[in-house]
Amino acid sequence: MAPVETHTITALVQDRPGVLARIAGMFSRRGFNISNLAVGHSETPGLSRMTFVVEGDDWVVEQVTKHLYKLIDVVQVYDISAESIVLRELALLKVRSNAENRPEIIQIVDIFRASIVDVTKDSLVIEVTGDEEKVDALIELLRPFGLREVMRTGRIAMSRGSGTTGGRKGTKASVDQSAPDAEVVP
Amino acid sequence: MQLTGAQMVCECLVREGVSVLFGLPGGAILPFYQTLAEYPDLQHILVRHEQNAGHAADGYARASGKVGVVVATSGPGATNLVTPLATAMMDSVPIVALTGQVPRAAIGRDAFQETDTTGVTAPITKHNYLVMDTADIPRVMKEAFHIARTGRPGPVLVDLPRDVLTERAEFDYPDAINLRSYKPTLEGHAQQIKRAAKLVRDARRPLILAGHGVSISGAFAELQELAEKAQIPVITTLLGIGAFAGDHILSLGMPGMHGQAHNNWAIERSDLIIAVGMRFDDRVTGRLSAFAPNARIVHIDIDPAEVGKNVGVTVPIVGDARRVLHALTLEVEPATHADWLKEIDVLREEHPFVMPESERLLPQYVIREICEATDGRAIVVTGVGQHQMWTAQHYVFKEHNSWITSGGLGTMGFEVPAAMGAAFACPERTVWSIAGDGGFQMTFSELATIAEHRVPVKFAIINNNSLGLVRQLQDLFYDRNRVSVEYSGNPDFVKLAEAYGIWAVRVSDKADVRQAIDDASAVDGPAIIDFRVEREENVYPHVPAGGSVFEMIEGPPTPTAEDVPAWRP
């Protein structure tokens, strides 16, 4: 199976009740697939920023963008897939652990520059940030120990450099997904 | 000034220039109704069903060009608006719907007559509001009317909890609208218009496909100027009928599933299509891969989401049809396209659109007679089905904003209440509702309202005792297996009219058609003619759904009147 083409889209929307339902409804009604969605307040009071990961080709992304704009509550939409961007996701992972295997888990957590945020005698809660691939990889490594719970935020994205996200529309820089944590490595 | 929420709503309606509302009261919306008496400028028309109120507001809006207003209560009142809102959404009709809601504290508790109205109507409105603060009413109402009538028009719903209507607050009417996320593009991009003009200059077989957007923006003169300057023939979509004079020499008629055959062939041969205010609906295009295979496409539309949605576009121009057409006409060079016009004339000869000859009462004949009797100048309202297609084909419109039909959603029953709404909008004009016997029975409860107000709508029921277009589909594509399409229990429509005190006559004979039309026209008030038409008559041409011009059925295979299949319940 060919890999599914995905695009990262961010939207600035009015922070009003029902806006998420409107957007989700539009996606389902028009048959667009969102594989990932994150919502939070933006730098401007009254506006929220959403980040979607949309499956589909350029035509789909164009349609998604136009239909988002058609919603009265949507202020601005950017397809930032072609920009140089930082992509992040936060995940909390609860793993079964005992005195015997704890050192091994700590070692894995260190390699991923993740952190342990809660410890009991039979469990660990691990916090990890990174792109989806990094989070996926950590999950797979921890699965054999007994993965009790996974919570993921969905992708958020920001352009690199001093410009604002989407401000350099049309730049053809490759998507910088393959260099996890490059900018935090000393 | 301190006002109740209900008074605020009325104040806003008056300021928006509203004079007629269609609605039906109920508990949650009652505070609004109790306040209406203080506002004598607002005439409320009490209907028999909220769906009809919605369609009446739709017909009112299409005939007048103003925003139609419909009022309903919470719960079932609001859910009964689903069909008219969806109809208006599909056909870009400006409506403001005011619905009652249970008091704020009861929302979410499954209170009596509670429905999540904004949730239910989100996909079938351009926008909607649930007002949770009385002080917000002036801003919300102003925005609602603005959103409904500007850009690509559409229905906007305002949901008003009962206690928001009764509470008092300062009435602070905003001077201006500040919607940072809604600013329709009106002027076309100058560079794109130049590119389009260049395509027109290079085209040998150009066509204009004009849609509803031309009528909405009032671009009649601009369209005619462009067509005449560059001698480009004009095809009008179902809702575009009336956007270009039907008797103009460059007018070709309707394309698509039931369009005149020469139009579909012209599209097939065309090398440039200038699409204006139309959306390449599947009933126009048929199978997309076979649609206009030789044409480059200039698509002018105010809604960016329509451009590139169904067909690939060479030059997209987002903007108001009137402004873009005007700018484009300035850019294009005069041309004659004599060879192309000749070629189209040959297509017309090879694929003639003929009125079938018969001694029996054919529905097409009825429509032609109505057209002749009204000189093509009536407001004509239809529902959906055979009667609609025959009207689109045979009524030649000489006036703008006169053709009111449910195009996109295809709503049966639209023809009764929408005609009533149109008559309220244009009391000086003649309004004919050409109805199917199926659609008429879906909404004829509104005859009571029509009788009460002596609304002078003339109804022509094209009565074939069946769901004709469905029967046609069964005959053509389901081996003539006629299931659940016969209406053997239709009422006597003349007696029905009598029950409402409405003048009526039955016509079964071709010779009586014109007299009946003239008699109905002479009646001071509503009138109904029950035309008992030939029930085996089909609409032709017929491009099968998902087909192309090459699969178009141009006429009946052979006369097979004796060979009538059985009708199954």
Cβ-proximal residues to B512 (8 Å cutoff; 6+ apart), any chain:
none
Chain B, residues 301-330, CB within 8 A of chain A, namely 303-305, 307-309
Q: Which amino acid is at B141?
A: M
The pLDDT of residue B354: 86
Q: Are residues A102 and A70 in the same domain?
A: no
Which pLDDT band holds residue B351 (cuts at 50, 70, 90)? very high
Contact at 8 Å (CB) between B158 and B98?
yes
- A152-183 pLDDT, tens digit each: 998 898 888 888 877 644 332 222 222 233 33
**Alpha-carbon gap, residue B459 to B128, rounded angstroms:** 34
Q: A34 lies in a domain?
A: yes
Q: Are residues A45 and A90 in the same domain?
A: no
What's the average model confidence in pLDDT over B4-19?
Answer: 98
Cβ-proximal residues to B357 (8 Å cutoff; 6+ apart), any chain:
none
Distance (Å) from the alpha carbon of B127 to chain A's nearest alpha carbon: 7
Which pLDDT band holds residue B564 (cuts at 50, 70, 90)? confident
Cβ-proximal residues to B490 (8 Å cutoff; 6+ apart), any chain:
B437, B441, B463, B465
Q: Are residues A111 and A128 in the same domain?
A: yes
Q: A165 lies in a domain?
A: no
**Alpha-carbon gap, residue B436 to B386, rounded angstroms:** 8
Q: Are residues A44 and A105 in the same domain?
A: no
**Alpha-carbon gap, residue B349 to B559, rounded angstroms:** 22
Task: Find residue B526's DSSP bridge partners.
Answer: none
Burial of B366 per CB tally in 10 Å (0-12, 13-18, 19+): buried
The pLDDT of residue A166: 72
**Alpha-carbon gap, residue B354 to B91, rounded angstroms:** 29
Task: Find residue B567's DSSP bridge partners.
Answer: B482
The pLDDT of residue B180: 86
Structural domains in chain B, CATH included, are 2-170 (3.40.50.970), 190-350 (3.40.50.1220), 363-538 (3.40.50.970)
Q: Residue B144 pLDDT more than 70?
A: yes
User: A1-10, B55-64, B482-491 — which is least confidently predicted?
Assistant: A1-10
**Alpha-carbon gap, residue B7 to B10, rounded angstroms:** 5
Q: Which residue of chain B comes nearest to A66, CA vs CA?
A: B305
The pLDDT of residue B339: 97
The pLDDT of residue B238: 97
Tell me A4's DSSP state: P
CB contact under 8 A, A21 and B122: yes
Is A44 strand, coil or helix? coil
**Alpha-carbon gap, residue B10 to B160, rounded angstroms:** 13
Chain B positions touching A62 (Cβ under 8 A) are 308
Among A43, A64, A79, the domain boundary falls at: A79
Q: Are residues A74 and A127 in the same domain?
A: no
User: Which of B118, B179, B305 is opposite residue A67, by nearest beta carbon?
Assistant: B305
**Alpha-carbon gap, residue B519 to B277, rounded angstroms:** 39
- Top residue of A26, A69, A72 to mutate, by most chain B CBs within 10 Å, is A72
CA of residue A135 relative to chain centroid, distance: 10
The pLDDT of residue A17: 87
The pLDDT of residue A177: 27
CB contact under 8 A, A70 and B181: no
Q: Residue B282 pLDDT more than 90?
A: yes
User: Which of A21, A25, A72 is opposite residue B181, by nearest beta carbon?
Assistant: A72
Q: What DSSP string runs through B266-318?
A: HHHH-SEEEEES----HHHHSSGGGSSTT-EEEEEES-GGGTTTSS--SEEEE
Q: Are residues A116 and A137 in the same domain?
A: yes
Chain B, residues 155-174, CB within 8 A of chain A, namely none
Cα distances from B527 to residues B247, B377, B421, B497, in angstroms, run 29, 18, 16, 8
Cβ-proximal residues to A52 (8 Å cutoff; 6+ apart), any chain:
A8, A9, A10, A11, A34, A36, A37, A64
Which pLDDT band holds residue A36 (cuts at 50, 70, 90)? confident
Q: Are residues A64 and A22 in the same domain?
A: yes
CB contact under 8 A, B309 and A63: yes
Give the CATH number for residue A123. 3.30.70.1150
Distance (Å) from the alpha carbon of B140 to chain A's nearest alpha carbon: 13
Give the CATH number for residue A42. 3.30.70.260
Chain A positions touching B307 (Cβ under 8 A) are 66
Instruction: State phi, psi for A47 to the nearest 5 degrees.
Output: -120, 140
User: Which of B122, B182, B305 is opposite residue A22, by nearest beta carbon?
Assistant: B122
Angle between helical axes of B261-269 and B338-350 (0-180°, round to 10): 140
Average pLDDT, chain A: 86
**Alpha-carbon gap, residue B242 to B234, rounded angstroms:** 12
The pLDDT of residue A175: 28
Q: Are residues A10 and A71 in the same domain?
A: yes
Q: Are residues A46 and A101 in the same domain?
A: no
Q: Residue A42 pLDDT more than 80?
A: yes
Chain A positions touching B126 (Cβ under 8 A) are 72
Tokens of B280: 């390449």
Cβ-proximal residues to B58 (8 Å cutoff; 6+ apart), any chain:
B68, B84, B87, B88, B91, B93, B95, B414, B418, B421
The pLDDT of residue A167: 62
Q: Are residues A112 and A147 in the same domain?
A: yes
Burial of B180 per CB tally in 10 Å (0-12, 13-18, 19+): exposed
User: Is B126 within 8 Å of chain A by CB?
Assistant: yes
Distance (Å) from the alpha carbon of B307 to chain A's nearest alpha carbon: 9
CA dihedral B475, B476, B479, B485 (to 10 degrees): -30
Q: A138 lies in a domain?
A: yes
User: Which of B123, B130, B309 is opposite residue A25, by nearest beta carbon?
Assistant: B123
Q: A146 lies in a domain?
A: yes
Q: A158 lies in a domain?
A: no
The pLDDT of residue A178: 28
Distance (Å) from the alpha carbon of A73 to chain B's nearest alpha carbon: 6
CB contact under 8 A, A72 and B122: no
Tell me A34's DSSP state: E
At CB < 8 Å, which residues of chain A contact B?
13-14, 17-18, 21-22, 25-26, 29, 59, 62-63, 66-67, 69-75
The pLDDT of residue A159: 87
Is A35 strand, coil or helix? strand
Tokens of B92: 């870009």
User: Which of B122, B127, B181 is opposite residue A25, by nearest beta carbon?
Assistant: B122
The pLDDT of residue B366: 98
Contact at 8 Å (CB) between B375 and B402?
no
What's the average model confidence in pLDDT over A12-28?
Answer: 93
CB contact under 8 A, A18 and B118: yes
CB contact under 8 A, B123 and A26: yes
**Alpha-carbon gap, residue B390 to B241, rounded angstroms:** 13
Q: Are residues A12 and A55 in the same domain?
A: yes
Cα distances from B25 to residues B45, B116, B419, in angstroms, run 11, 18, 22
The pLDDT of residue B244: 95
Is A53 strand, coil or helix? strand
Contact at 8 Å (CB) between B67 and B16?
yes
Which pLDDT band holds residue B559 (cuts at 50, 70, 90)? low
CB contact under 8 A, B305 and A21: no
Domain coverage including residue A64: 6-79
Tokens 């797979």, residue located: A140
What's the average model confidence in pLDDT over A86-100?
Answer: 94
**Alpha-carbon gap, residue B254 to B391, rounded angstroms:** 11
What predicted TM-score, i.e. pTM, was given to this entire model?
Answer: 0.93
Chain A positions touching B179 (Cβ under 8 A) are 72
CB contact under 8 A, B181 and A21: no
**Alpha-carbon gap, residue B232 to B207, rounded angstroms:** 6
The pLDDT of residue B209: 98
- A129-155 pLDDT, tens digit each: 999 899 999 999 999 999 999 999 988
User: Which of A21, A59, A72 is opposite residue B127, by nearest beta carbon?
Assistant: A72
Among A61, A79, A97, the domain boundary falls at: A79
**Alpha-carbon gap, residue B534 to A6, rounded angstroms:** 57
Domain count, chain A: 2
- B366-406 pLDDT, tens digit each: 999 999 999 999 999 999 999 999 999 999 999 999 999 99
The pLDDT of residue B218: 97
User: Which of A14, A72, A74 is opposite residue B147, by nearest beta carbon?
Assistant: A72
User: Is B119 within 8 Å of chain A by CB?
Assistant: yes
Tokens of B230: 């560059």
Instruction: Give me the percent of chain B exceeding a pLDDT of 70.
Output: 99
CB contact under 8 A, B118 and A66: no
Which pLDDT band holds residue A1 (cuts at 50, 70, 90)? low
Q: For chains A and B, what is the number of CB pairs under 8 angstroms?
A: 40
**Alpha-carbon gap, residue B92 to B502, rounded angstroms:** 33
Helix ranges (DSSP H) in B395-489: 415-425, 437-443, 447-452, 468-477
Q: A101 lies in a domain?
A: yes
Q: Which residues of A80-111 are buried (b: 16+ CB within 10 A; e: fewer)?
A: bbbbebbbbbebebbbebeeeebeebeebbee
Chain B positions touching A67 (Cβ under 8 A) are 305
Q: Are residues A92 and A140 in the same domain?
A: yes
What's the average model confidence in pLDDT over B199-214?
Answer: 98
Q: What DSSP string runs through B370-415?
A: HHHHTTT-SEEEE-SSHHHHHHHHH----SSS-EEE--SS--TTTH
The pLDDT of residue A183: 30
What's the average model confidence in pLDDT over B89-98?
Answer: 98
Q: Which residue of chain A comes nearest to B128, CA vs CA?
A: A72
What's the average model confidence in pLDDT over B41-67?
Answer: 98
User: A163-177, B86-100, B332-346, B531-545 — which is least confidently predicted?
Assistant: A163-177
CA dihedral B492, B498, B504, B508 (to 10 degrees): 20
Average pLDDT, chain B: 96
**Alpha-carbon gap, residue B312 to B308, rounded angstroms:** 5
Among A79, A95, A124, the domain boundary falls at: A79
Q: A157 lies in a domain?
A: no
The pLDDT of residue A133: 92
User: A49-58, B185-194, B340-349 — which is least confidently predicted?
Assistant: A49-58
- Top residue of B117, B140, B181, B183 to mutate, by most chain A CBs within 10 Å, is B181
Q: A176 lies in a domain?
A: no
Is A42 strand, coil or helix? coil
